[in-house]
Amino acid sequence: MPGAEPGIHALHGFVGSGKTTLARRLERTLPGMRFSPDEWLVALSGPGLNAEEFPPAFARVMALMEEQWTRALELGVPVILDHGFWRRADRDALRAQAAALGVPLTLYALTLPDEEALRRVRVRNAQPGALPISDETFRLLRAPFQPLEADEEAVWVGQE
């Protein structure tokens, strides 16, 4: 398949920062296979997961997606991971995994003021097939988000 070399294109950013928009663009321009956990969650479990159901459903989706994206890399297809990689430990684990797989990793960083991100989430919530995120959940999710540290190499993506 002509196109980009196999590699991991991972997106780092908080909810509403534009990760999926960038992932869709990369999917076309690389080209590559896009893996977006929100879409898989809605397709497999529906949009109405409660707080107790969400963590195990999310873990199952992430495990299933990993089986698929690592196989895509083995087949020579670039992958776009539209996940967010909020914690430093998750980003470090992905770096180690890329090294073990022998593929390059490009980390794209997206930032946006919380007010604009929350506005975008509210708009997205009204779209068919969206994984709804309430204002309260948005605020609760903000606490564990860890911005990139100075030693983390990334491609910084401006907002459109």
| pLDDT on residue 49 | 79
| pLDDT on residue 160 | 52
Q: Could you tell me the two tokens for 99?
A: 């090294």
Q: Is the residue at 32 inside a domain? A: yes
**Predicted TM-score of the model (pTM):** 0.92
DSSP per position, 16-49: TSSHHHHHHHHHHHTT-EEE-HHHHHHHHH-S--
Q: Is the residue at 56 inside a domain? A: yes
Residue 143's CATH number: 3.40.50.300
Name residues of the chain where pLDDT drops below 50: 1
Range of the domain at 30: 8-157
Per the listing, tokens 């684990």 go with 93
Q: Is the residue at 88 inside a domain? A: yes
Per the listing, tokens 């994206």 go with 69
| pLDDT on residue 1 | 44
- Split into its structural domains, the chain has a count of 1
- Which amino acid is residue 68, in one-letter code? Q
Instruction: Report how far residue 64's alpha carbon sits from residue 66's, in angstroms, rounded to the nearest whole number.
Output: 5
| pLDDT on residue 4 | 76
Q: Could you tell me the two tokens for 59?
A: 């873990």
Q: Is the residue at 1 inside a domain? A: no
